[in-house]
Chains A and B, each alone.
Chain A
């Protein structure tokens, strides 16, 4: 018999779970945050568990992972988990272990924080390191940004939590964020007509276009595709199924910033992010223009928002005109949506703030 895969699916987590968490599974009473980066959960049984959260680079080499394991074995109870934003969490059953653990993480350069009203780790994708369609890098953008926002990660000085995301194409794998920094292409694809017929399933490419701007065509006697450049929205959706539709452009692929995405149901319903700035140069290795804008928006939010307001709640209170005034960002015709359902985003009232 040939060896067949064992289709075991999602593994049972209890075999890897801290015993205090297993024992008190589903029977927790309350929690508090004794300091930034530390959570203390109390179970109905009276048991307590302390969690120390630290930032990682997400893309980790073996030595980094083994160092984290050494820290977990020597200064914690040998159990870790990761959050959805690639923070690592060490769980300990004794309060006395918390400070030595924090100190050890500090020695190895892992920032402790990311809890409560802080700027948590940027949720991101693969970029130039591994993706087949990226307009920019991911890990490098995030490294440069978290270097600048390090203080906001290790403190809890924001009005409420801030989730930042980045995406290397307009598919936006990074997802919704309070602030999202995403690639925005500004020119239609350049087509390598020599390759299309052999590489691309042309009807699928035509079907993929959100605005029906692509049609099959004979170019120089070869079956290929053509793009109505007036209709084209430069989204890049045709590139994944047809790489000869070159959308990435060292000069014309820019960054755009979107704000107010929020997945939580707390206070208001979940919200999608909205465009605030575009045309930002894609400038490795440290993307200074994009980072300066992110910091400008963050500092304005920090100074003006009230406790517990996420960025979306804050803008809802002060209004978009005030947002653009306070952040000194230009408001352009491109901020007015014209996609399907756009009329609901227009102000159909006499509600004007002065």
Chain B
């Protein structure tokens, strides 16, 4: 016979309404007779109601892990265990999802069976870093739960000052706007740094995110230390017959107002015969017109990626966007993939050696300047890295001639092919 449920008048109010209710789910886990950790869920609901009443949280961290790893478990011990003893330990296992978050029902049911045997039965798909979060295990159950997930091909994600779980969009699996093999990029990068993920020893976290096009559905530029964004460098594709039928369907005003005039670089022009001109040299690959005219316009054939580094959220110096460090690189051959992994290795090595404790890559770049970072990781300067050149004249330029010569040499080398 399970523990009696607490009165939860505040949480009860979250059971009504059209959106699926997590409270109803929590209650099911607390009232399914004979279920593993049933009493834990009874007390968890008690503690959560207590938080709602007092408007405070009551979890503290601690040290819980699995053999061989230094991170990946989020330990949670209750500060109000005297009132709610059964949920005094309520740890989370961060498990890395398949790239693109694809599942079949067989693996989902296996997850459920494992979590029914070893944990609370509560799962979040997914956390903000992209992990599947199996929430609610006692300290003793963390290892057997991990062992069971590990046996079916799943591994812990990152936590603490480590390479973190990454994310890639659905991309080439379903989206015609994909300019990259997103899952391969993500797996090549993250799976090369598993030691840095499982044994946290970096100054702070380091995140990879991969979006297949500049729509950046994975929020990579704003949230990743290394963002890989698919793009293309030849002309975008225009199916003029489809353009004409789009114009016929929607009207010229719609096309002018919503496509032509919304182009950020005025690279589009609607012709008198309702075909579309594209100034591909001015196009910045923003994706807007392609998003609107999904049947008529599409990305080009000469695909590759842009790499930006240094994105992060508020702590400590304020939000930072990632900025361009590689304007374009091809990702076709094994050598191309070796090169992008090498760029990541250089960046993480430099970060490990030069960042202050608890400093993100973007903050380090802010502190030392982009040029020092580029020199440290062996990348050449490029005008695509700036919105505009320097404004301030307070700068020493003693070796201007040598730097100008470098640029000319690189241009000559590129021209020679």
Residue of A nearest to B297 (CB): A30
Residue of B nearest to A76 (CB): B105
A264 touches B122 (CB 8 A): no
Task: Select the residue from B19, B54, B356 with max chain A CB neighbours within 10 A.
Answer: B19
Q: Restricting to A55-83, which residues have a CB under 8 Å from any CB of B? A: 55-66, 68-69, 72-73, 78-83
B358 touches A207 (CB 8 A): yes
CA distance A199 to B392 in the complex (A): 46
CB of A37 within 8 A of chain B?
no
Residue of A nearest to B153 (CB): A11
**Which chain A positions have C-beta within 8 A of B124?**
58-60, 86, 126
Number of interface residues of B (CB under 8 A): 128
B48 touches A129 (CB 8 A): yes
B18 touches A3 (CB 8 A): no
Residue of A nearest to B119 (CB): A62
Q: Distance in Å from the Cβ of B10 to the closest Cβ of chain A?
A: 4
Q: Distance in Å from the Cβ of B305 to the closest Cβ of chain A?
A: 14
Given A13-B98, A31-B175, A81-B100, do A58 and B22 touch, yes or no (CB 8 Å)? yes
B288 touches A307 (CB 8 A): no
Q: Distance in Å from the Cβ of A5 to the closest Cβ of chain B?
A: 5
**Which chain A positions have C-beta within 8 A of B380?**
none
CA distance A86 to B214 in the complex (A): 21
A84 touches B55 (CB 8 A): no
A173 touches B25 (CB 8 A): no
Q: Restricting to A254-289, which residues have a CB under 8 Å from any CB of B? A: 261, 263-268, 270, 272, 282, 284-286
CB of B396 within 8 A of chain A?
no
CB of B281 within 8 A of chain A?
no
B22 touches A57 (CB 8 A): yes
B105 touches A72 (CB 8 A): yes
CB of B60 within 8 A of chain A?
yes
CA distance A130 to B58 in the complex (A): 9
Q: Restricting to B116-163, which residues have a CB under 8 Å from any CB of A? A: 116, 121-128, 130, 135, 146-147, 150, 153-156
B219's partner among A7, A25, A66, A175 (CB-CB below 8 A) is A175
CA distance A69 to B107 in the complex (A): 10
CA distance A253 to B170 in the complex (A): 38
Residues of A within 8 A of B (CB): 2-13, 15-18, 21-22, 25-26, 28-32, 41, 49, 51, 55-66, 68-69, 72-73, 78-84, 86, 88, 91, 109-111, 123, 125-137, 139-140, 143-144, 146-147, 150, 170-176, 204, 207-208, 210, 235, 237, 243, 248, 250-251, 253, 261, 263-268, 270, 272, 282, 284-286, 306-308, 339-341
Q: In the A-B complex, list the 4 residue pairs whose CB atoms are closest, starting with the nearest.
A: A147-B17, A61-B25, A9-B191, A265-B214
Given A9-B96, A251-B55, A308-B292, 12 more pairs with CB closer than 8 A: A26-B178, A31-B175, A57-B22, A73-B105, A80-B103, A80-B108, A84-B219, A88-B125, A143-B17, A267-B262, A270-B222, A306-B257
Name 18 interchain pairs, CB-CB below 8 A, sorted by A.
A5-B67, A7-B195, A10-B99, A13-B100, A49-B174, A59-B124, A61-B25, A69-B112, A80-B104, A81-B100, A81-B103, A81-B170, A128-B51, A128-B58, A140-B14, A207-B356, A265-B221, A285-B14
